[in-house]
Amino acid sequence: MLTTGTNGKPGNTWRRVAYYKGCLASLSAKELDTSTIALARKLGLELEALESVTCCGAGDIHEAEPDYYLHLNARILSYAEATGSDTLMTVCNVCTLNLRQANWQLQKDEELLERVNRNLETVGVPAYSGSVEVKHLLWLIAEGEGYERLKQAAHKGLKGLRVAPFYGCQILRPSKLLGFEDPDRPWSLEAIIEACGGEPVDYPAKIKCCGFPIIQAREETALGELIQPIEQAQEAGADAMVTPCPLCHLSLDAWQSKLKAATGKDFSMPILHLSQLIGVAAGLEASELKFKRHVVSVEPMLEKLEV
Amino acid sequence: MSIGTEITGGSAPEPTMEVAIKIWRYDSQTGERALKLYEVEAPEWACLLDVLDIIKDRVDGTLAYRKSCRMMICGSCGMRMDGGAVLACKERMKPIVDRGHVPVISAMGNMPIVKDLVVDMDPFWSKIRAMKPWLQPGYQEPPEREYLASQEQMNPIHKEALCIMCGCCVSECNSMESDPDFLGPAALAKGFRFVGDPRDGADIERLNEYNSEHGIWDCTRCYFCNERCPKGVDPRDAIAKLGAESVRQGIDHDLGAKHAKWFVTSTKTTGWLRETELVPKTQGIVSAIKQTKFALGLARRGKVPLPFPPHVAEEVREARALHDLLKEQNRRGAAGIVQGERGLARIERTDEGGAKRDIAEITPGEEPAAAGS
Ligand code: SF4
Ligand code: SF4
Ligand code: FES
């Protein structure tokens, strides 16, 4: 049912967390999964990957069948709890909001928790007691011991590479459910870029939407959103952008060609997952970073670093 | 004593503070704009609106802004502070002064500026009106007895009924920036206020209208509306409730609804979202073919998993069984979201997050929008 992925070197382990990959890292953004696992090993973060879980439903099941959304997420939380860890680590904004929202709903309402648990048990899932906290990888390494370990691991540095942080929406808002940092003036990605020896580039759209949720149903509106961060990051002189969300990544990376077709502007802006950016500074292998899976070439950035 | 003209009253002098704010002044007649610094003495209890009153009374009488109730009821005083929409009468200045911060005040976004901090709310009102914001009970003559709605029946629209129509949620709405015709958070929250009302008999009609091109499926889920709303309406959640009701009622002609429904199918069959199948399921076969070249480009990079063999999550059986089980329970549609609200209302809000770093040099949205945009 659960595969135990122990990857911390003995004696080096700093903490052990349950790891929820989500759809993207499991399927179309495998590079996020491989770089996260490799990075965690360097940081002494022991990951226990949940394998028997489903998609969190993104915003879609929450909108189409919200009761099912709640139960799917409760099921994920229950299997995270079964690992014995108090933390469920996510690597996607949307998973983070979905799981945190469901978790709050259950933790703060005994009656609801009871109802959901009855249903879980009926289909053979262990009841959830509410002991897990959902945290994005970003939050684990932006402060405290995680940040110290990150600084040590990022020994190769980024040689002052100009990196534009792109937060996306659902790791910031609604802050009532996320609450790690000020949603209008976040600092965590900048802190990490600095720790890796890069230079954070500031621009207003770093906290705005990438357009992904409506990119299929309302392409034009979505592209109107997508262009803002890429254009502003380029004007601010960024060599690359980094994001903690694989959906933002997909939008920024894969849909850049559509932006080009629609506006004639060729940005050729390399887009990195958070774990890849740190991975470059930490000297991860090409087979772990898997840049070949990107649509926009990362080569120009790597050449600057002479990697 | 009239507040703003008399800052000390009674016997003991009130403690005061030196407040500095910058205001984006704007004149739509001449197109002139300027960021001006104002420094005034204000009582320690002053909110942003009090400070604006003091500036208008003592420094510059030409400063334009809206106000009425001064107590978060009328919805007149929406404006941006450091790029984010707030009610001026709700924002206490003391903590900001103590931090040594000089906030930048500007007009709300997504609405044309008339002068300084006053925006033209006509587009806002016309979208609210488009929702037919009145009860349509489905009869001309009221029955003998008035319709009695229990508290329990009214609870599902409790949050939406709190709206004071200030426009703060619209100010940073990302979809509206890109599609100005998007009905937007305030209007759609108003829509659910009626769809969810047990006394209204026009649900299906309303849902069909709100499922239009610029309706509920235009929302990009940026959550700026929930973040900004000063009354806890959570318009994004109201939009999700409308989506859930639409799907429950079988109103799923919109691509957005099809997309949402496909996620449900995915979890029941493979456990994970199968992106290759998403395009045809969402857009139909003809537009899917148009997307093929793009999709093949993605497939070459492994961005799209091949449909065979399906990535079956272990024990997807449990997810399927859950789905079947829930069908028999009475929480379909918006009720599935409403049931979670009690727990969410118990979260204590902490505002500590922001204190970790100084205010950044660039403040999003600092520049007012161009005239008439
Ligand atoms: S939903 Fe909230 S922010 Fe929007 S108009 Fe109503 S009260 Fe104002
Ligand atoms: S969540 Fe939707 S309605 Fe709310 S601000 Fe974002 S795009 Fe607009
Ligand atoms: S003046 Fe009425 S809400 Fe602020």
Cα–Cα–Cα angle for B348, B352, B358, rounded to 5 degrees: 160
Q: Ligand 2 atom closest to Cα of B176? A: 8
Q: In what order do the strands lie in the sheet with A15-20?
A: A45-49, A15-20, A87-90, A133-136
Q: For residues B126 and B244, state if they share a domain.
A: yes
Query: CA distances (Å), B68 to each of A304, B49, B76, in order?
Result: 58, 10, 6
Residue type, position B224, single letter: F
Note the ipTM here. Answer: 0.95
Give the pLDDT of residue B340.
95
Give the pLDDT of residue A1.
34
Domain containing residue B308: 255-328
Average pLDDT per 10 consecutive residues for chain A, totaling 307 residues: 42 90 86 96 96 86 94 96 97 97 97 98 96 98 97 96 98 96 97 98 97 92 95 97 96 92 93 98 96 95 88
Tokens matching residue B188: 């759609």
- Residue B346 within a domain: no
Question: What is the domain partition of chain A in residue ranges?
Answer: 2-137, 156-306
Do the chains contact at B321 and A123, CB–CB below 8 Å? yes
Do the chains contact at A105 and B354, CB–CB below 8 Å? no
At which residue do the structure tokens 């994004």 appear? B236
Q: For chain B, what is the domain count?
A: 3
Mutate to test the interface with B, among A51, A54, A105, A297 (most CBs of B within 10 A): A54
pLDDT digits (tens, 9 = 90+) for A115-170: 999 999 999 999 999 999 999 999 999 999 999 999 999 999 999 999 999 999 99
pLDDT digits (tens, 9 = 90+) for B119-132: 999 999 999 999 99
Q: For residues B226 and B275, state if they share a domain.
A: no
Residue type, position B286, single letter: V
Give the pLDDT of residue B266.
76
- Residue B288 within a domain: yes
pTM (2 d.p.) = 0.91
pLDDT digits (tens, 9 = 90+) for B280-293: 445 544 455 556 66
For domain A2-137, give its CATH number from 1.20.1050.140, 3.30.590.20, 3.90.1150.10, 3.40.50.2020: 1.20.1050.140
Give the pLDDT of residue B216.
96
- Residue B309 within a domain: yes
Given A23, A176, A183, which is nearest B272 (Cβ)? A23
CATH number, domain with residue B63: 3.10.20.30
Given B227, B343, B366, which is nearest A106 (Cβ)? B343
Give the pLDDT of residue A26.
81
Do the chains contact at B273 and A23, CB–CB below 8 Å? yes
CATH class of A156-306: alpha beta
Q: What is the residue-wise DSSP string for chain A?
A: -------SPTTT--EEEEEE-HHHHHTTTHHHHHHHHHHHHHHTEEEEE--S-----HHHHHHH-HHHHHHHHHHHHHHHHHTT-SEEEES-HHHHHHHHHHHHHHHT-HHHHHHHHHHHHHTTPPPP-S--EEEEHHHHHSSHHHHHHHHHH-TT--TT-EEEE---STTTSSTTTS-SS-SSS--HHHHHHHHTT-EEPP-GGGGS--SGGGTTTSHHHHHHHHHHHHHHHHHTT-SEEEES-HHHHHHHHHTHHHHHHHH-------EEEHHHHHHHHTT--HHHH-GGG-SS--HHHHHHHT-
Given A204, A209, A257, which is nearest B362 (Cβ)? A204
Å between B282 CA and nearest CA of chain A: 8
Mutate to test the interface with B, among A32, A63, A99, A232 (most CBs of B within 10 A): A63
User: Residue B145: which pLDDT band, with cuts at 50, 70 and 90?
Assistant: confident
Residues with CB under 6 Å of ligand 2 are B 173-176, 184-185, 219-225, 235-236, 239
Distance CA B153, CA A286 (A): 59
CATH number, domain with residue B159: 1.10.1060.10
**Please, what is the average pLDDT of chain B?**
85
Given A69, A108, A217, which is nearest B259 (Cβ)? A217
User: Which of B66, B79, B87, B121 maximizes ligand 3 atoms within 8 Å of its Cβ, making it the mutation to test the pocket?
Assistant: B87
pLDDT digits (tens, 9 = 90+) for B239-285: 999 999 999 999 998 888 888 887 888 777 767 665 545 544 455 44
Residues with CB under 6 Å of ligand 3 are B 67-70, 72-77, 87, 89
Q: For residues B40 and B101, state if they share a domain.
A: yes
Q: What is the residue-wise DSSP string for A22-82?
A: HHHHHTTTHHHHHHHHHHHHHHTEEEEE--S-----HHHHHHH-HHHHHHHHHHHHHHHHH
Give the pLDDT of residue A57.
86
Closest C-alpha to ligand 1, atom 5: B165
User: Which of B66, B168, B224 maximizes ligand 1 atoms within 8 Å of its Cβ, making it the mutation to test the pocket?
Assistant: B168
Q: Ligand 3 atom closest to Cα of B78? A: 4
Give the pLDDT of residue B141.
79
Which chain A residues contact residue B219 at CB under 8 A? 213-214
- Residue B369 within a domain: no
